[in-house]
Structure 1
Amino acid sequence: MEKIRTAIGLMSGTSMDGIDVALLRTDGADVVERGPAKGFAYDAAFRRSLQAALETAKAIARRDERPGDLAALERELTLRHAEVVAAFLSENGLAARDIDVVGFHGQTVLHRPERALTVQIGDGELLSRKTGIDVVYDMRANDMAHGGQGAPLIPVYHAALARNLPANCAFPVVFVNIGGISNLTYVGADGEIAAFDSGPGNTLIDQWVEAQAGIPFDQGGMIASEGRVLASLSARYLDHPFFTGRERRSLDRNDFLPPTGADASLEDGARTLAHVTAAAILKSAGHLPQMPKTYVVCGGGRLNRIIMSDLAELAAARDARVIPAEAVGLDGDSMEAEAWAYLAVRSLDGSPLTFPTTTGVKAAITGGLVTRSNRDVILGLVPRI
């Protein structure tokens, strides 16, 4: 058996709402002992800076480029992560010496698999120096260097969780993460895994209500509950070639753009986009090896009751059940951060992070850059090019 390590995972997702932190004790294989977790929200000004960075990042041609103010933003982002780690340790009576490794996702500002280009800003070496803990970061790039899409990376963790699901979870099981972009992980009764991005998650709804009402998201689906589904607007998204293409591919936040104010009222737009989020999951599930019997939903989208209601109704029509992660003893908010801790341990052991059936990589492969807290870079699987 591999060594059991204590790891912290740090996740700042495409919703750009803050940093999720989770502690895990794991061997990177079958042993998964979930510890405390917490979310730390970004202030509105910093969130706007991250959103602006998406435009700046469009000029990037090489992974090490940081045009405009991206270098300064990367440093600030990293320092915020260091502060969050310090706060998390203090709140849980822990010290840096108690943690073997930090899995650091950073913030995705550009993801273009057709160009084998993915950029997550975040300085792993700086984070290691500030925290005094070894850091694994830049975990997507090696997959892309070997023909993969660079996403999703979480399926290997989902597969570990699936081995301990309650008996009433009928297989095949699909873990649905509704973040800014939604993604699916299929786990068959025999342990077979397959995964891919399924379409827009919260990002369109967030962008819509922020543009139209000046608020960051539709809390609980309250705005959507006052609207109706506009068939023509829904079809604009659900008829997108992404859903019918023979090959699955990972998505960038800019692959689906929000409506304009002329397309709908605030409420009808929110309602329609909630439906699109749910329907996209079912459309993409058609590309899985078998139709799922159970959907376990995590990510912020599970808190939108309109998305969950639509998803449950659409799944029931295919003889499947939709349940939130908490109903099976998991934490739908911290699962991605937990996964980054799990992946960091696997990276240290040289175990695969991605597989042909999850990212399209040519063969199962490990990844990540590892920076030791003594500032010596011990392992660099992908050079910055």
Structure 2
Amino acid sequence: MTWFRAIGLMSGTSMDGVDVAFIETDGKGDVRQGPRASFSYSDDERRTLRAALDEAVRLTDRTARPGVLAQAHAIVTDRHRSAVVDFLKANGLDKGHVDVVGFHGQTVLHRPERHLTVQIGDGAALAASLGIPVVWDMRAADVAAGGQGAPLVPAYHRALAGAAHLEFPVAVLNVGGVANITFLPGDGDPIAFDTGPGNALLDDLMLERTGQAMDRDGKTASAGKINTQALMQLLDNPYFKAPPPKSVDRNDFSRAAVADLSTPDAAATLVAFTAQTVADSFALLPQRPRRVIVSGGGARNPVLLDMLQERCGCEVATADDMGWSADAMEAQAFAYLAVRSLNGLPLTFPGTTGVATPLTGGVLSRPA
């Protein structure tokens, strides 16, 4: 068995910053978790990234970087470079201690029905500047083959759950800008799909109305009341009943239904929207999971966790409760996927993205 030392990098749809995580793994069932850290974007950087989202809507060529996208592309590359450099220094690691970096980039457009997914950030430039091999552009091969290109993390969820000897079936729920669920039956490949909105609608509401990037600890939502009429409007979307495989873009859902509500009531209603769509997604699974394990920023929102417990009809725990990492889960996953890519192992499966057969992916860039 060959072990690899890998760093994973993730900048999610919430655009909070860059998550960095170090793991050792064989790319199969063995994972040793190491240090992790987060590096926030500045307010100016975050504004540029948000502007890039608006620009990306018009893209038809996934390699094009018109207008502000070129600036955002450079920001993402440089911020990931500095994050790795700072991470290595903080943890007393030399670049020679790292076999590969898994670099997700920043998703600015995800339209698999058009065979189009766009993650900005230059993996080749990152490899050259760090002096470490980088595996990047991990969604493209799946989308080109007719898959949804998302979610990508289920292979890592399966490795963690297997190593923990959990009682199956179990589900791992990641609540980032978008929420996605991985159903692990115990035997066979995982089933996974985007359940719908995660934190993006709430984050956008808070930024617009308060200037804050998020509802930290759910304090605003906890002061509000769910507006049932608005919630019903939000839930009236055919996506939620569509069978998997399926995935969404962070901008596929609107806040129009809560536009006239107070900020606390709007926040509470949007959190209920996320929780209810997760609970409703169980109808699309072969059976109800015994436990739902929550990771991502949503695991830090006690209001969301309470609503999930109320609606899901099973035990709800956080990744931290399991000895995993709610914050670093996706960064760890992209380190793990980079190792799988190096070994030619599948990153996606028919039950996770709808691709016809299990498929590897990623582009390997080596330092010059």
Instruction: Tell me, yes or no, whether TM beats 0.5.
Output: yes
> 1:126 and 2:125 equivalent?
yes
Matches within 5 A, 1:356-367: 356-367=350-361
**CA apart distance, 1:247:** 4.0
TM-fit CA distance, 1:69: 2.3
Alpha-carbon contact 2:189-2:349 (below 8 Å) kept: no
Identity percentage of aligned residues: 49
Is the Cα contact below 8 Å between 1:155 and 1:193 reproduced in 2?
A: yes
Q: Which among 246, 262, 275 is matched to residue 249 of structure 1?
A: 246
2:205 match: secondary structure: helix
User: 1:268–1:193: structure 2 CA closer, same or farther, 3 Å change rule?
Assistant: same
CA, structure 1 residues 214+72, in 2 after alignment: closer, same or farther (shift >3 Å)?
Answer: closer
* Cα shift at 1:215: 1.2
Q: Where does the alignment leave 5 or more consecutive residues of structure 2 unmatched?
A: none
| Superposed counterparts of 1:268-347, under 5 Å | 268-316=265-313, 320-347=314-341
* Separation of aligned partners in 1, 2:155 and 2:245: 18
Structure 1 position 79, deviation (Å)? 1.0
Give 1:1-385 correspondences, 5 Å limit: 1=1, 3-165=2-164, 169-259=166-256, 262-316=259-313, 320-374=314-368
Determine helix, strand or coil for the equivalent of 1:223.
Answer: helix
Deviations 1:155-178 (A, max 9, x none): 000000011226xx5421000000
Query: Which amino acid letter does the alignment assign opposite residue 339 of structure 1?
Result: A
| Residues 8 and 23, structure 1, Cα contact 8 Å, conserved in 2 | yes
Tell me how far 1:95 sits from its aligned partner: 0.9
2:193–2:244 CA contact under 8 A, matched in 1: no
CA apart distance, 1:239:
2.0
Deviation of 1:249 after TM superposition, in Å, equals: 1.3
Corresponding position of 1:382 = none
Deviations 1:295-328 (A, max 9, x none): 0010001111111000011123xxx100011111
Gaps of 5+ in 1: 375-385
The amino acid that maps onto 2:359 is I
Instruction: Tell me the alpha carbon deviations over residues 183-242 of structure 1, each in whole angstroms, 9 at most, x when there is no partner.
Output: 000111324410000110000111111112221111111001111010111111222111
Which SS does the other structure have where 2:77 is aligned?
helix
Question: How many residues are paired up?
Answer: 368
C-alpha root-mean-square deviation of aligned residues, in Å?
1.2
User: How far does residue 334 in structure 1 lie from its aligned partner after superposition?
Assistant: 0.3
CA positional deviation for 1:260: 6.7
The SS at the match of 2:255 is: coil
